[in-house]
Structure formats: structure tokens, C-alpha cells
Amino acid sequence: MFYVADSVMKTLKFIANLIPPILSRKKTSTWRLFDDKDLRVGDTLCFVEHETGREFATAKVISVREKPLGEINEQDAIGQEKFDSREKMLEAFRSHYGNAVTMGTIVKMVDFVLVSKEKQVA
């Protein structure tokens, strides 16, 4: 965990292929299941590469919505990577969260803006 002023900065991990779209501001949303961080509007987040633990950005939460996975529509997917079908979306979430994920599982859709990017080391 990281500290900002007198509060703890929450950390979110991303797989490597999502980092370029985040840094270029094409990806401005993340969908999380079983939110153990209690993500809320106004939270400052430290973005970390899942595989290496390297910090790559800091962001601020600007919107949080929740709905069942099976009710997600195109409007919800703005700023989010696209899936070819609902089945592909379910497969992707099951690969990250396990087979307990169903179309009824609640998704927390978190919109963010980048506050800073970490310096890239060659």
C-alpha cells in the first residue's frame, strides 16, 4: 500500500497489455468483481503491472457503477476493452476470478482519470 497525505492509496493491478491503452488514455475504465478495496469516487489509485509489481501511473476515481455482468451494454463499455461476445466476456472474467463468475455476478465499473505517469526505465 502507498500513502497519500494521511490516507492509504489503493492499488490496482493490470496485465501488461492494458498498460499502453491506459497511458494513452484510451482505456479510462476498469471492471472489478468481488471488490475487496471498496473503490469509491474520489479515491486516488496506484496502478501496478500485475506481473512485475512496477508502478506505472496514479489515477483518480471519477465514477463508480455496479450491475450484473449479464446486463452490461455498449454504453457501459466506453473506455473499456471490448469483447466479441457475452460468452467471451464471461470467459475473460472466469480466467481472472475463477469459475464462480456467472452472468449474475455484480461488476463494479470504475471510471478514472490519470493524475500522473511513472517515468519509464529503459
Q: Write out pLDDT tens, residues 55-69.
A: 999 999 999 999 999
State in Å, rounded, how far the first CA of the chain is from the last one. Answer: 25
In what helix (H) or strand (E) does residue 95 lie, and over which residues does it extend? helix 86-97
Mean pLDDT of the chain, nearest integer: 89
pLDDT in tens, 100-112: 999 999 999 999 9
pLDDT in tens, 82-94: 888 989 999 999 9
Residue 12: Cβ within 10 Å count: 19
Domains and CATH numbers, the chain: 2-117 (3.10.400.10)
The answer to whether residue 4 scores a pLDDT higher than 60 is no
The answer to whether residue 53 scores a pLDDT higher than 90 is yes
Q: What angle do CA 107, 111, 112 make, to 5 degrees?
A: 140
Buried b (16+ CB within 10 A) or exposed e, 20-38: eebbeeebbbbbbbeeeee
pLDDT in tens, 6-51: 457 899 999 999 999 999 999 999 999 998 899 999 999 999 999 9
β-strands 7-14, 44-49 pairing: parallel
